Each structure stands twice: as C-alpha cells, then as structure tokens.
Amino acid sequence: MKRFCLVAAILLIFSAYANADVTYTIKKGDTLSGVSKKIKVSAKEIRSLNHLKKSSKLRIGQTLIVKKTGPKTYTVRKGDSINRIAKKFNVDVEELKDINLLDSDSLKPGQKLLLKAKPEIETAKINLEEEIKNISESEEIAQMNAKERLILFAKKFINIPYKFGGNSIMGIDCSAYVQKVYNLIGITIPRSARLQFKEGEIVDRESLSIGDLVFFRTYASFPSHVGIYLGNDLFIHASSKGKKVSIDSLKTPYYLKRFIGGKRFIIDNAEIEITKQLHAG
C-alpha cells in the first residue's frame, strides 16, 4: 500500500512538472539578450510572456517564463472573434479554423475550441521516400495500371502527420498529399484544392470511380479540402481532424454535408481502349 502511494505521488509530481510552464531564474550578470541566446528564445517573446517593457530591469532571483505551455482549449466568450482568439494564443487563423473544422468565422458563446491539434501519431521509422523509390523501380509496379499504382502509393502515406501548409512526409496537408501521390504516377495537378477543382473531368457522387478526387467545402466558401476516392464510399486524405493521412467515409455526416463533387484525372483501361477504337474508325 505504501509503495502504491509513493508511486502515485511521484506520478502526480511528474504530471505537474510536465504540464508546467518552462521558467528561468535570473542569475548575477544575466541580461535579457544573454538569456535569450542561452535558451534560444527571442528577447521579444520573453518580454511578451512576462509583460516586460523594454526599459524593465532584471533582478537576481527573478523567475521568467520562457515557454508557455498554455491551455489546450478555449471557451468562447461574448464578443470574441476568431481573429482575436487566434492572436491571443498565437495561432494562425486558418489553422485554428481547420483544427476545429469551422467553415465560417462565426462563433457562439460557450463554444469550445481546440487551440492545438491532437498529438501526431508516430509513423513507422522507415525511409518512406526510399521505399517508394524501390517500389517505383520494381517489376511488380510495371504490371499495374494507373489506378492500382495510385492507390498503392496513396496508402503508403497512411499515418503521415497532417500539417496545415505542409508538403513533406514530416507533415502534409490535403492538397499537397494528393498532388504528391498523383505525381508519383506521372500526373501533374495544381498545388491547392481550389485550383485542383478547376481541372479534370467533372464527376458526381453516384459516378465516382477509384482514383477520382473528392472535394469538400470546409472552412471556406471555395473548395478547401480534397481526398482520393477508394470505392465503397471510402476516401483517403490528409485529415485535419485526425491529424494524419487516414481513410474516412463519404457517408460521415461532416463530409456528406460538405461534399461538392469529384474530378477525374485517370481514364480506366476499358475507356482508353474504346477511345482508341473510335479514333481508329
């Protein structure tokens, strides 16, 4: 029993320190610029965290906050705006909207907002780019059609972290993800979902085929989210909600409500054959 209590106490202490702000205690000879260089945090940020003026003098023994853990959520109050909240917690407005799946700037008092994305899930410690290169040069891939290659590459990115504006395996957003996957099979498409929606052949939901791009209006009035259709109402995408590349259903109420259409960039082998015969005739 005593051992259990001791372990519990240690865990509580560890938890308290893990969630505490990072601080620095001023020593003799310290200056703000010196502290800034030592802890690699700008003097401007230190002043802001501690409400210091440029003329403020440091005192020996004074404790400065050098890194604020900050709350993970915020409850909207009367008079709040998305811009004011983003500025207060030093978060990009579009990222804040993306994290909370907001499609407008309107907020309601009492509404809870996530200020930080959920922790990213660790991906397997492999060199993804090297793996993809090896697959691309294999005999097996040469026997696959374009759609099969597309889906194979698309699924290789599963669990890669989502990052607003990201364009690498360290963190990627929805449009960069589909652009990168399509590029792996030799098809070049624009960088943003908005521009991608202007390309390709229009496809309605009932006519979706494997490999088509599916588009949604999320935080903006224009197409702002995109994924790759897998069949059976499933699509793969870099999800801001799940914070990783994952598979979801078009029947999910959130996506069903915001779905605006599909675009086709790959014609299957049967259609290609028909096209060849028509031209031959």
Q: Tell me which residues are annotated as active site.
A: 174, 225, 237
**How far from the centroid of its chain's Cα atoms is residue 20's Cα?**
26
Q: Comparing C-alpha atoms, which of 177, 190, 156 is closest to residue 240?
A: 177
- Which residues touch 51 (CB under 8 Å, ≥6 apart)? none
Token pair listed for 27: 């020593």
Helix (H) or strand (E) holding 139: helix 139-142
CB 247 within 8 A of CB 236: yes
Q: How far is CA 116 from the centre of its chain?
A: 11
Query: Which residue do the tokens 């202007």 mark?
Result: 198
DSSP conformation class of 137: T
For 19-138, where are the alpha helices, taking DSSP H only? 32-39, 43-50, 82-88, 93-99, 128-136
Q: Which are the contacts of 176, defined by CB distance < 8 A and separation ≥ 6?
A: 166, 167, 191, 238
Cβ atoms of residues 74 and 89 within 8 Å: yes
Start-to-end Cα distance in the chain: 88
Cβ atoms of 78 and 64 within 8 Å: the answer is no
